[in-house]
Every structure is written in C-alpha cells, then in structure tokens.
Structure 1
Amino acid sequence: MVFTEFRFLWFFLVVFCVYWGLQNNNHRKFWLLVCSYIFYGAWDWRFLFLLLLSTVVDYVVGLMLSRPKVNSSATKPEITASEVIENPDSKQGWSSLFSGNILLNKPIDQNQRRVWLLVSLVINLGLLGFFKYYNFFTDSASHLLAFLGLPVSIKTLEIILPAGISFYTFQTLSYSIDVYLGTLKPVKNFGDFALFVTFFPQLVAGPIVRASDFLPQLLNTKTLNKVDFRGSLILFMVGYFKKACISDNLSPLVEQYFANPESYTALSCWVAVISFVIQIYCDFSGYSDMAIASAGLLGYKLTLNFNFPYLADNITDLWQRWHISLYSWLRDYIYFPLMKMRPKNQRTELFRSRNILILMLVSGLWHGAAWHFVTWGGLNGIALIVHRQWSSWIAPYKVLLPIRKTLGIPLTFYWFCASAIFFRSNDINSAVQIEKAFLFFHSSGYENVNLQLAWFFIPLAILHWSAYKGWLTHWTEKIPNWSFAAFYGVLSAIILRLMAVNPQPFVYFQF
C-alpha cells in the first residue's frame, strides 16, 4: 500500500475518523498500532514477524540497560526522559500487560550492559545484513576468490527484501544506543514502544524518527483544534503532486535511457540524468511530505527530511539538506563516535577526512547492496573532504563570498547530477560509460530520448523556487475556508489529470 494509491486514501480516512472519534489516549494509540500493523502487513504479512522481533528485542534490551548499575549511582541523562516513559495511564488497560517492572530490579555491571547492547546490534544488523546484503557479500567474495585463483562458487539465495527494514532498523538501533549511553531512559510501556517503531506514516521510507522526539508525543492527549489542517492538506497535496505527476511521469524516460545508455546521444544523456535527479528528489521528498502530513493530521510531528537541497550552494550544505534524518543519524552514531576515538588535540585533518569518507561509504552501502552505490558514497565523501579543504583555504578572502554563493548553486547541482549517475546505473561499467557522455559531451549513440521534455525543467524550477519562498503556503493561510475548499478541489482535479498513466513504486522502498 503506497500513499498515491486510492486504497490508502480510504485506509487513512477510516484511521482518521476512528482515531478522532476515540476519547481515551490509550485507545487512540492502540488503534494506531493495529492500523500500523495492517498497513505493513499489506506489503507481505510474513514480515510482520520480523518487525515484531525487532520491536521485542530492543524493548527488552532497553529494559535490561535500565537496571541499576553495580556499585554506582545512576547518572542523570542528558535528556530527562521521565516524562517520556512515565505515562500516567501506563498501569491501566492494555498497557499494563507490558509494564516491564519485574525486569528492572536486578543490578547490572558495565560488561553486562555491553553484552545487551551487543545483542541489539547483532540481531538488528544481522537481520539487515542477511536480507539486504547476503547476496552482495557472497557474490563479491566469489569474484575475489576467482581473482586470486581460487574459483569457489558460493550459492546465493532468493531473498525478498522486507519493506522499510533499513529505516526501522536504524530507528530501533538509535533507541538502544541512546539508552546505553544514558541520554535516554527506556520505555516501560511496550505498546508505546511498538507504536514508535511501527507508526505507519513513516514506517517503510522514513523519516527516521528518534525516540526522544516521538515518545513524548505519545503522552499528550491530542485535540482536533490544534491540528494544522490547511498546512497538512497542502503538504500532502504537494507531496502527491511531486510523486504522481512529476516523478512517475519522468520514470519511463529515465528507465529507457539507463537500460541502454550506449544507444543514445550525449544530449539525451543530459536530459536523462537531470530527469533522474528531479525524479528521485520528487519521489523521496514527495513521500516524506505525505508522511509528515499524514502524521500531522493525526496530531503527531515528524522531523523535516528535505530542505530544498538543489538550492544548496556547496556540497556540505547539500548533504545537510538531503535526507536529513539519515545523515543526522550517521553523523550522531558513526561520525561522532569515530571522532571521539582520539582526544581533540590529536584529531588531525587526515583523521577527520577518514571519518567523513567512512560515513559516506556507509551511506552508499545503506542505499543499496551494490558496488556502484558504494562508489557513489565514496565520491561524495571525497567531495566533502575537498570542499572542507577549499573552504579553509579561501575563508580569509571575504570578497569572494558573493561569487561563491552565485556560482555555488549550479556547480553543486552539476556535481550532484554527475555523482547520481553511479547511484542510478545498473553497474559500474554502465556508470563509467554514462559519465563520459555527461562530462565530456561525447557518445557513440545516435538515438534520442524525448528531448522536448527538457522544456519542462523551466516550469519545474519556477515551482521549486516558489515553494522555497513559501508563496503557496502564505496565500492559502489567508483565504477563507470556502475559498480554500474550492481551491483544494480544483488542485485535486488538476493533479488527477496530470497523474502518470502507470504509477510507479517509490524509489526508496528498495532501500
């Protein structure tokens, strides 16, 4: 079930009406939990057991880590989370079954704490590694052994990738790590924790939600008059337009070119590559918009996931605007721990550069189990390192700042397009061939894709700029209700007319 399907609109309508019809906060949460499992089960009900296993493991790990430390006083967490875990209604109704108080009395030493954290890491990353990376690593190992003169055939498996496993694995891992570090107290209410993991608007493609952001929202009884209906409805419609009208309509052209790039001209290469970066942005940011809007209509707030990355004026700024929830996760749980491995006075520039490169290589591998994804991550890691050095060199020359900002946006977009070729290509060899056509404007092919589509880049750029300025949002906030309803109806009719004939699955579902 995807957000652009009509059955989701009916599903959400039922969820919405029953949710706001219930008065008790626990009943509302239980209803959302049931609906979240139904939503996920619509993909493949068998993977519900996998989702439940991950939920139970990290719930138990959190409780074990919360036990009093041996011969030490409890340290006050940086995030005081008593209001996060102490639900005044937790001893009533369905939540009393999972209070977990029996598990919290026995003291625990530091070695035991490490073991419990290791349990979470091994099980979560083990499941992710098996379902997503088993064939990649076995195939790579076979090729390496053959290269070394040891032709050994390692059997690959027909494995179906569970929807959203990369997202909810990172989400539950961050919870266990935060509890281990003492920056977050554990959740005693299993129902609350399960809803944090399975909340359907963001379950299969993010944004990746932190427990410290989401769990406090479960304690407050939501009121209908505090919901920003106009803002949420407009955001959902914007996301729907991005996905159904832009991304899905660009998808056939992109597929056509990347399936057989050697047959097309260099101009077709440019049109296809730019179409792809527009497609993937509209696809993923459109999903995030609809996820945030759906949660908003239920009274919940999800983190911003995109902040107009194609208007960034340097590569560092771009990665602070693109898939924000993922790259903040990688920063907090990979880059910062790597930096803390040395004292501040021993952190050389080479050490920092190494850690940046590791972060982006992990990002590439997270996006896909293939070497062209890893190459894409590595290229962007190198770009971040180069930009860091360049910025330090020209920092004293303030007079160059306006020029840097003026030229920075098109140059950053150009780099993103060039690196995205590795992201989209079917393999390394195909990516290298496309790079030659894109960078040097030379190709041996003679066929053309639909070049007239390039004229649509101009109105899309104007729409993007108007969204950045917030012109539509500001206008819809001021008009009366009847005008807003009429405008929304007209906008819906236009979008339905412009929708792609063949809807496409969300690109990030494969990650």
Structure 2
Amino acid sequence: MVFTEFRFLFFFMIVFCVYWALQKHNHRKTWLLICSYIFYGAWDWRFLSLLLLSTVVDYFVGLMLSRPQVDNSTAGQEIQISEAVQNGDKIFSWDALLNKPINQQQRQGWLVLSLVVNLGLLGFFKYYNFFVDSASNLLIFLDLPISINTLQIILPAGISFYTFQTLSYSIDAYLGKLKPIRNFWDFALFVTFFPQLVAGPIVRASTFLPQLLTPKNLNDVDFRGCLTLFLVGYFKKACISDNLSPLVDQYFTNPEVYTVLSCWIAVISFAIQIYCDFSGYSDMAIACAGLLGYKLPLNFNFPYLSNNVTQLWQRWHITLYSWLRDYIYIPLMRMRPKDQRTELFGYKNILILMLTSGLWHGAAWHFVAWGGLNGIALIVHKEWLSWIAPYKRFLPLRNMLGIPLTFYWFCASAIFFRSNDLSSAMRIGKSFVFLNSPGSQNLNLQIGWLFIPLIIMHWAAYKGWFADWWQKIPKWSFAVFYGVLVSTILRFAAINPQPFVYFQF
C-alpha cells in the first residue's frame, strides 16, 4: 500500500479509530502489531516468514546477550538450572537460563549468529544474482567461460531497512549500550511498526523500545502538526515527485536521443523527484506514527541547501548515514589507536563507508560507482578544508558558492544512481558535465519554469516562514484552511500514483 493511495488512508483510518478506542496499552500494542503484519502482508504475504525469522532470531540473541558476563577463566564453571516439576514432568526455566553466566566468546558467537542470519537473508535476496553475474562476467573476461545460473528472486519489500534496524539492536546489546527486552511482542512491534517498515526512517531500538513502555494519551497527540506534516509529505510525493516521474523515465530510457538542455532538465527533475519522493514518505511516516502517539527520528533536513558535500550527507537520509557511521565507520577507525590513525587510513574508511552505502541502495555496479564518487567527494572536501583553513576571510564567499556547487555535484553523481547501467550513466554524465548533445530531440522544456517556485517554497520552508502557523489560528480556521489545501492538492496530484523509489531497496 502506497501512502498516497486511498486504500492506505482507509486502512490507517481503521487502525487509528480502533487503536484509540482500546483502553489498555497492551491491547493497543497488540492491535498495532496485527495491523503491521497485515500491512506488510499486503505486499507479499510469503515474505512475512522472513520478517518473523529475523524478529525471532534477534529477540533470542538479545536474551542470550542479556545474561551476566563472566571471564573466560570461569567459563567452565557450570551453574545448575532450576527445574520446576509438575505432574512428574520437568518444565524448562527461562529465568534460570537467563541468569546463567556467559563468557565473551559465547557472546561473540551469538552476535555472529545475528549477523549471519540477517546479512545472509539480505545477501541472498538482494545480492545473489548481482554477484553471480559479476563472477560470470569476470570469468568470461579471463577467457574462462563457465555457465552460472541466476535465480528468479523477488526482493522482499523493506528488507534493507528492517535488517539494519534489527542488527542495530543485536550490536547495541552486545556492546552493552542497550538492555535487551524480554517482552517478545514489544520487540516484534519494534521490528514491524508499519509507518516506517518498508522505507524508513531506520529506527534504533534505544529510541523506539522505551516508547512502548509508556501508555499513550490522546490528548498528548499534536493533531494539527501531524496532519500538516502528512499533507506536506503527500504534496511532495503526489504532486511533485509523481508528476516528474514520467519525464524522468522518458529521458533515462533513451538518453542518447536528447539534447544537453533536456539532459539538464531531466537530471535536475530527478534530483527533485527523489528528494520529494523519499522525504515525502518520511514526512508521512513520522506523521502517522505521531497520530498513534509515537515519535520517529528526523530523516531529512533540507539537504539541497547544504554548502558542502559533508553537510549534504549529514542532512540526507540521516538515519541511514548515522547507522553507517556508528556501525561501520567508527568501528573501522577504532581498529587503530588514535596516534596511529593517518589521513590515508581515515580516507580509506570513508571510501568503504560510501561504497557500502552505494551497495546498500542497489545490487548493481552503477550504485557502487555512485557510492565511490561520493566517497571521493568527501575526501576531496576534507582536503579542501585543510587547504582553505588559513583564508577565513573568504568564508562568506565559500558558503555562498557552496550551495549551488554542492547541488551540482549531487545532480552529477545522481546520474549514476538513476541510470539503468554503468555505460548509460557514463553517456549521460558526459552530456551533463561536458555539455555534449548526443541527440536532437527535446523533452517538455517548459517544466524548467516550475523549478523557480519550488526553489522559493523550499527556501521559505528552510527559513521557517511557514513554521507553526497551524498552531496560531483558531480550530475552525485550521479546519477550513486544511480542507482547502486538501482539495487543492488533490487537484494537482498525479492521476497514476507511483511506487516510492526507495521501496526497491
């Protein structure tokens, strides 16, 4: 179910009404869990088993990691597990098992189990055919032809998102940053919470699980704020992203027949499309969760107004890049003492981070190239900062020029993200960067005039011109104005709703 479809709005209305009609907190959580499984099963019920497997494995791993830790020297000491006897039968005691000490080697084994299961499922469903094709092409290049069969694999919706989410739980439990939860149903709701299940934000257990412990009060819900945020996300997706999608698809299907001006229109349109698509989803997910009394983390913070690439990736898909930073980049940096960390060592880890990001987004070499290009850009920016440091008087000029240059870089690298393959990306990149027209046809160039009001609206929102207006007017005024906005937005919404771009990841 796409958030902009009426069937989702109908689904959420039922979820919302029943949720707040229930009086007990546990009943509400159970209702949300059932609805989350129904929501995910609507995509393909067969993949519910994968979601459940990931949930069960990481829940059990968390329980094992919650056991008291002992030194390896005392690992051989056995503790008698208490047994209850009923009608002559022995009953297993969970409390006794969870109080049984565990050594460091065993803890590592449980963490490895979580990594193998989660990354194994992700690797098979998302990357099996990619690695098989790559290996086959390499062998052909080496004049070692071999027949390797690929499989007809359907990518489960949201597997990249919930895999990272559950992995963060196991890793944090292993590092002692999180106390594992014993309530299985609460953990299952953390994994499957439907507003952010298939496309984020990627929520940490330390952020979401504490919210499950507190009963929700309808009076604490910011209805105006959530409804406004949902409408903003709906506008981004249905009115901007979905209307730009056909033009972008038209160009990237046959880029060789279009002029350089069409190339620029299409590439900038894609940059706008993907931002409105993904940030629009995040807005609606945060709003839906807020209407149910839960808070999800911010995922976008005006990334196109960044004045350098480092700031850009701190503002774009915030929950993913903070995840990669905390669980990949920082552990890589800690592999050496601080006094042995050279610049080259740090740059290598930045490149690994962004290559991982590229591969996470898609199982194709043009995604890897996109990640590598942005990794190089981050390294170049760090070198630039060290070179420009003595010239602080040029800081205002640098900031002023930084925004258009950063956006230009984003668009140029996004060509590799959007293209169908690496060779196509190279051709489009040549046209975009070197202003080389491969063809003579033009897209609907009038679409370029729409960029101006979009830029103005984005800048006004960044400056806070629209901030909290919904809180400052009477209830009846809000209701009337909201109704007018809804009818206006529906007038400009795309006739055919498009799937969210990040659903494929």
User: 1:130 is matched with which residue?
Assistant: 124
Asked if 2 retains the 8 angstrom alpha-carbon contact of 1:101 and 1:188, the reply is no
1:496 is the counterpart of 2:490 = yes
1:282 is the counterpart of 2:276 = yes
Which amino acid is the alignment partner of residue 41 of structure 1? G
Asked if 1 retains the 8 angstrom alpha-carbon contact of 2:233 and 2:279, the reply is yes
Q: Secondary structure at the match of 2:425?
A: helix
User: 2:413 is matched with which residue?
Assistant: 419
User: 1:106 is matched with which residue?
Assistant: 100
Match of 1:431 among 407, 415, 425: 425
Asked if 2 retains the 8 angstrom alpha-carbon contact of 1:205 and 1:508, the reply is yes
Q: Which runs of 5+ in 2 are unaligned?
A: 74-92
- What does 1:7-156 correspond to in 2, within 5 Å? 7-71=7-71, 101-156=95-150
Asked if 2 retains the 8 angstrom alpha-carbon contact of 1:231 and 1:473, the reply is no
How far is the alpha carbon of 1:474 from its aligned partner? Answer: 2.7
User: 2:462 is matched with which residue?
Assistant: 468
1:6 is the counterpart of 2:6 = yes
Deviations 1:362-386 (A, max 9, x none): 0000000000000000000000000
TM-score (norm 1): 0.94
Asked if 2 retains the 8 angstrom alpha-carbon contact of 1:100 and 1:189, the reply is no
Asked if 2 retains the 8 angstrom alpha-carbon contact of 1:312 and 1:409, the reply is yes
1:331 is the counterpart of 2:319 = no
User: What number of residue pairs does the alignment pair up?
Assistant: 487
Asked if 1 retains the 8 angstrom alpha-carbon contact of 2:233 and 2:281, the reply is yes
How far is the alpha carbon of 1:472 from its aligned partner? Answer: 2.3
Q: In structure 2, what is the Cα distance between the partners aligned to 1:437 and 1:359?
A: 29
User: 2:307 is matched with which residue?
Assistant: 313
Q: Give the direction of change, closer, same or farther, for the CA distance of 1:100–1:189 in structure 2 (3 Å limit).
A: farther
- What does 1:55-454 correspond to in 2, within 5 Å? 55-71=55-71, 101-454=95-448
Deviations 1:196-245 (A, max 9, x none): 00000000000000000000100111111111111110000000000000
- Runs of 4+ in structure 1 off by over 3 angstroms are 99-103
Deviations 1:437-483 (A, max 9, x none): 10111112000000000000001111111221232233222010001
Q: Secondary structure at the match of 1:168?
A: helix
Asked if 2 retains the 8 angstrom alpha-carbon contact of 1:43 and 1:163, the reply is yes
Q: In structure 1, what is the Cα distance between the partners aligned to 2:94 and 2:214?
A: 22
Deviations 1:375-402 (A, max 9, x none): 0000000000000010111112110110
How far is the alpha carbon of 1:289 from its aligned partner? Answer: 0.2
How far is the alpha carbon of 1:102 from its aligned partner? Answer: 4.9
Note the aligned Cα RMSD (angstroms): 1.3
Asked if 1 retains the 8 angstrom alpha-carbon contact of 2:72 and 2:103, the reply is no
How far is the alpha carbon of 1:72 from its aligned partner? Answer: 8.5
User: 1:80 is matched with which residue?
Assistant: none
Which amino acid is the alignment partner of residue 60 of structure 1? F
Which amino acid is the alignment partner of residue 12 of structure 2? F
Asked if 2 retains the 8 angstrom alpha-carbon contact of 1:168 and 1:208, the reply is yes
TM-score (norm 2): 0.95
Q: In structure 2, what is the Cα distance between the partners aligned to 1:102 and 1:473?
A: 54
Q: In structure 2, what is the Cα distance between the partners aligned to 1:333 and 1:39?
A: 29
Which amino acid is the alignment partner of residue 458 of structure 1? I
% identical equivalent positions: 79
Deviations 1:172-193 (A, max 9, x none): 0000000001111101000110
Asked if 2 retains the 8 angstrom alpha-carbon contact of 1:63 and 1:103, the reply is no
Deviations 1:38-81 (A, max 9, x none): 110110111111100000000000001111122499xxxxxxxx
Which amino acid is the alignment partner of residue 18 of structure 2? V
Q: In structure 1, what is the Cα distance between the partners aligned to 2:477 and 2:466?
A: 14
Which amino acid is the alignment partner of residue 301 of structure 1? K
Q: In structure 2, what is the Cα distance between the partners aligned to 1:422 and 1:72?
A: 50
Deviations 1:238-291 (A, max 9, x none): 000000000000000000000000000000000000000000000000000000
Q: Secondary structure at the match of 1:282?
A: helix
How far is the alpha carbon of 1:159 from its aligned partner? Answer: 0.4
Q: In structure 1, what is the Cα distance between the partners aligned to 2:14 and 2:23?
A: 16
Q: Secondary structure at the match of 1:473?
A: coil
User: 2:87 is matched with which residue?
Assistant: none
Q: In structure 2, what is the Cα distance between the partners aligned to 1:439 and 1:50?
A: 43
Q: In structure 1, what is the Cα distance between the partners aligned to 2:265 and 2:94?
A: 57
